[in-house]
Chains A and B, each alone.
Chain A
Amino acid sequence: MVVFLIYGMALFAAGIMLSGMGEGPNWGFIAFGSPVSVTGLVFSILAVWLLFGFLLAANFYGWAAALLIAHYVMAPVAVMLNHANSWQEEWLLLMKIVQLDPMTTVVLLLIYASGQILAWYWVIAGLSHSRTA
């Protein structure tokens, strides 16, 4: 649970950084907090990953898997519902921030990806363990 609280905090910081310190797109901020971010709540990222950590700690592996799948499926919906400007403007801002600092973008995406790998590893391990037990 603590691991995913830290992961959530890291993604919250990553979302803020991808927003170019408030001058760029808010897509990262919203996508990392999917599915809760469909509500537009600012602390969605922390809520999602804290909940995920709780589900793992409570051995609800099926629910944890469902939350991960909902995270991927609902991400485009959350972005669609919450983008601050027009699609095109947000997209151009995203391209601009990525071009300004490609290395940091890669590092942030690696943080996200490594957390996802860890999440799926624990979910699959938990599911197979409960099946054999």
Chain B
Amino acid sequence: MRQSVTTSITRLRLLSVVLGLCVSRCSVAVAQAQTQDTVIYYHTDAIGSVRMITDANGQVIARYDYLPFGESWAPLSNRDVRQFAGKERDAETGLDYFGARYYSSAIGRFTTADSAVVLSDTLQSPQRWNKYTYVSNNPMRKVDPDGRWERDVHYELTRVLAEAAGFGADEAAHIARADQFTDDNPATSPMGMLPFGEAVERRARWHFTAGPRRRELWTQFKSTGSFDDLGIFLHAEQDSFSHVGFSARFGQVPSFVVNGTDLKAVDKTAHKPERADAMARDTYAWLLKASGSRMRVHWSVLEPYVRRFNRALPGEKDRILEELERQIGDQ
């Protein structure tokens, strides 16, 4: 069964390329029928919305189109559970379940307030004063993975740098999503309670990587050309800056000697901004290498914004990236 699913995924990726559709990510779901398994495929766009469902023969079962805030473009013919941003839509209420909160695409607002918003951070970003807004009212450029605020380095900064390196907006979002997903995916998550076993292996393979492992991930990207693989490589590369001096076995635990109980402090750009600057420059260099000759913006243009970003509070970071995006658009 696993063999056939893997083969099918490979076929599906080929099919997506051949069709030239706006399909950036493929996943597979196996629905249990009463007498026989039925395999269906979700085709998602850059923000994870399900745009098409096909069967094992590549026949289209359903198509979906959405307005920017998730409202359906046309009445849905085949109502599948997963819809806008890949989230489950509740059939009775029509609300999308984002993990932390429910979202109403009809009004473009979450149904409950974002308790993750910190007042001091929002002072720099008026779009965040409203605790019910979706991605700071900017759904064309941003995606909210779970109803909490956006992730800074692995998603936001990577997406903007990818655009500066010459990738299209959809491509950049795809790369950034794959980068962020390395943390969120249970199969590659760095989290784990024990200093041995699977968690250590996950940390060693995706987060606390050695040089040869990162070269392996880069080679993987070069051989497939997949933006998923590029995002995974960038995640390992970026982490190699913040995780200097730590091992896969004990993760960031030794940092308590310096940072007290805030063991995640090393992951914050403001913790060691010079190191974060180097990380951003390295990320950009790899993105340029990945994009070939599509370079649009010189590093000297990006550097002042990146330096401010790495030293800013979370609320300010949004505004800085928006300025940087405008700058990139002007180039």
Contacts and interface: CB of A to CB of B under 8 A. Distances in A.
Query: Are A and B subunits of one complex?
Result: yes
Interface in B146-187: 146, 148, 186
Given A20-B192, A21-B199, A101-B193, A42 B261 contact: yes
A103 B103 CA distance: 33
B255 to A, nearest CB: 6
Contacts of A84: 261-265
A41 B260 contact: yes
Contacts of A20: 190-193, 251
B18 interface: no
Contacts of B91: none
B148 A96 contact: no
B33 interface: no
Contacts of A88: 100, 114-116, 148
A101 B261 contact: no
B253 interface: yes
A10 interface: no
Contact of A87 (B115, B146, B191, B265): B115
A87 B191 CA distance: 19
Contact of B261 (A29, A93, A105): A29
B193 A22 contact: no
B189 interface: yes
A97 B100 contact: no
A22 B260 CA distance: 11
Interface string A80-100: 001011111100110011001
Nearest to A82: B261
Contacts of A21: 190-193, 195, 199, 203, 250-253
Interface residues of A, number: 32
Contacts of A86: 115-118, 148
B136 to A, nearest CB: 16
A16 B251 CA distance: 10
B interface: dominant SS: loop
A8 interface: no
A24 B146 contact: no
Contact of A26 (B114, B116, B250, B261): B261
Interface in A66-115: 82, 84-89, 92-93, 96-97, 100-101, 104-105, 108
Contacts of A11: none
Given A42-B260, A104-B194, A22 B118 contact: no
Contacts of B265: 84
Given A21-B250, A26-B262, A84-B265, A100 B191 contact: yes
B12 to A, nearest CB: 29
B261 A40 contact: yes
A77 B199 CA distance: 31
B192 A100 contact: yes
A104 B148 CA distance: 27
A43 to B, nearest CB: 9
A53 B264 CA distance: 31
B255 A22 contact: yes
28 contacts: A20-B190, A20-B191, A21-B192, A22-B251, A22-B252, A22-B255, A23-B189, A23-B191, A23-B252, A29-B263, A30-B261, A84-B262, A84-B265, A86-B116, A87-B116, A88-B148, A89-B148, A92-B146, A92-B148, A96-B189, A100-B186, A100-B189, A100-B193, A100-B199, A101-B192, A101-B193, A101-B194, A104-B193
Given A20-B193, A82-B261, 6 more contacts: A16-B256, A21-B191, A22-B266, A23-B252, A86-B115, A100-B199
Interface of B: 99-100, 114-118, 146, 148, 186, 189-195, 199, 203, 246, 250-253, 255-257, 260-266
